[in-house]
Structure 1
Amino acid sequence: MTDAAPKPARPPGRPPGEVLRGMLRAIGRAAASLIRRAYALALIVVVLGLSWRALRYLVVSLIFAAPPPPQITQLPTRLGGDVLRTRQREFAGVVATEHARSPLAHYHRLDGWFQPDRFNDCTRSGCHAPLPHAQRKEVRAFLNMHATSMHCGVCHMQGDETPLPLTWYELENGQACGPPPLLRAYARVDALAAHPAGELTRAQQGDLVALLRAATRVANDEPSLAGLTEHFAAVRAGSEEFLRLLDVARHTLPRFFRGEYGAKLARRGADGPPHLAHPHTAAAVRQYLAQGGGLSREERERLLAEVHPLRREKSRTCAECHSAEGSLIDFAALGYPLRRVRDLQKNPVVQQVMRIESGEPFYLPGVLGGDAPPGP
């Protein structure tokens, strides 16, 4: 018996590693193909979307009239009490330039803005507007100028102390505070300008920059103040450019003395905090606001007396505070720099207001330092 023929040998199989690599290559090719297809699909969607938006914008802009932009419609049309109780940045696009936009019916362009005082009970109660003086058009602008930097009680509440007990209070919380950073920065600028250039240090520069940044913050990030601050921070202390900036600051900072302190002056109570309201008058205020229009003259006067128990019969006059001797306000003790104190005590505008109040003619060259008009 012969042996059976041997079976042919099986071809050797592919190693497991090669099989795995083949599977991975196939998966990679599929993934790459999927990514390319997804990218192409996304690109098609983006192109179609942009094309649709462009076509829609073209058709709509040609057929339908576009509404006015909110930078126009949301600007106030009158400079009323409600507007003055809001912040400048609450108007759409109001800080688009260095100077604030004014209400549309207001002729002059505003170079600053009224900082709302939410702790002055005279105005937040609804009885008085933030700029309350309106009866005498000859002097109301000068009187309202004070409302941006001091509480009503300074001029209208009882008390004959000399000097008046006053304190600064923050507009954000109604709490007593120190002198505003803007006044402190102005004083620091004057002090640094008196130093020789070589004696100025980086520490003095840093102190001034910190004060200016604080002043900018409470002035609603006013652009020109912010720019001046960054210039001071960028130059070398004591350099010619630094000295030039000191001179610029001496002329720039006074532009913001009209109430952009983030604080106001108020009468100081016996225990230290600011006196911001007539005491125990909430019920009388509510009654007056509810019934004011239907009250008789006698009832109205009686209720007003209850609302203002500390009111002076006659408000302060300009000369009582704006004088070098016997002033009711100790400006230096309140943190005003010496240069600012001199300006407040010897102000030609004050002299002209006093002339207007006494019925004398208003002579503009006299305000500007010219000669007095010739006699009749």
Structure 2
Amino acid sequence: MVGLNLRQFVIASLLLPLMAGTGCDPTSITATPEQSSGSQTTASNQQIRVVATFLPVYLFTKAVAGDTAEVDILIKPGTEVHEYQSTPADVQAIARADVLVKNGLGIEEFLEGTLKSAENPKLKVIDASAGIEPLKEISPVVVTSGGKASNHDHDHHDHHEHDHGEAAGEPKGAHVHADGNPHVWLDPLLAKKQVENIRDGLVAADPANEPVYRANAAAYIQRLSKLDSQFEQTLKPYQNRTFITFHDAFPYLARRYQLKQEAVVAIPEDQLSPRDVQETIEAVKRFNVKALFSEPGVDNKLLVGIAKDMNLKIYPLDSLESGPLDPDYYFTAMESNLKTLETAFR
């Protein structure tokens, strides 16, 4: 027992009879530093905690992270994002997170106060829309989105004044996103940019897993490129066609594929006036549209009523703000949107 201190000698003497027939060296019972620091090994393999604000941001983040990071969603799918009010649970989730991924462009208006309440100085925030030039959000249906041949500025949708009881110069409805229209995820090529931003943010936050993030992002981006080609080829015969939606969610898609979107309201919470109804009817006549487009999770009573009165069809267009927590759902929903547009334009 040469070389053993007193404590080791006592322990070895007690265990020697039990270990005599095993061939074990009793002097090896003292743990090495590496063996005794199991918590450090666990910590090095511990997944980072990522919180994505709402569904499309979650879908892209989960696609990039895969199973390498723990990804949670803050706003339950189907919950209206535009005027969401945070809860104590949201504050706790952000307080525990390593990374927060947001869409940006003003849609998550609740975040500023929530981040302050969370008091998480180590939190890294990824803005998925960084580097994307936003379109200005529209107000009334007389403004078109995307395409050409209009007296309005399609690339920068100025707010037009309407007499809905607001003071002169104020936008129609409850509010308009000051940072521009946030629905960039509905353009497959802008979705690629969002995936790239998320990839780069996760790599910066968790460089040990950079190869995984880059490989996952590359695979998803490849699918987005294929989706863009599908839209381009399918919608090419219908360039400059107008479609009317309730909510101003599709201007980026319209611009990308040289269509024109007419929206009844800027955001779903806008209170409608008789003038809104009249303008919608006038737009239907002016553009000779044969269909109106509703949206899941939105009160489409106005469109349903107009469609009935004017003998028009109603088709659903999915803005990806509700649905399953599966990155593949983005492609399922967008391919369905493409089929819907093609059917309506025929």
Task: Report the TM-score range of the alignment, normalised by the length of the smaller protein.
Answer: under 0.3
Structure (1 or 2) with the larger CA radius of gyration: 1
TM normalised by structure 2 equals 0.23
> If each structure's strand is expressed as a fraction of its own residues, which one has the higher value?
2
TM normalised by structure 1 equals 0.21
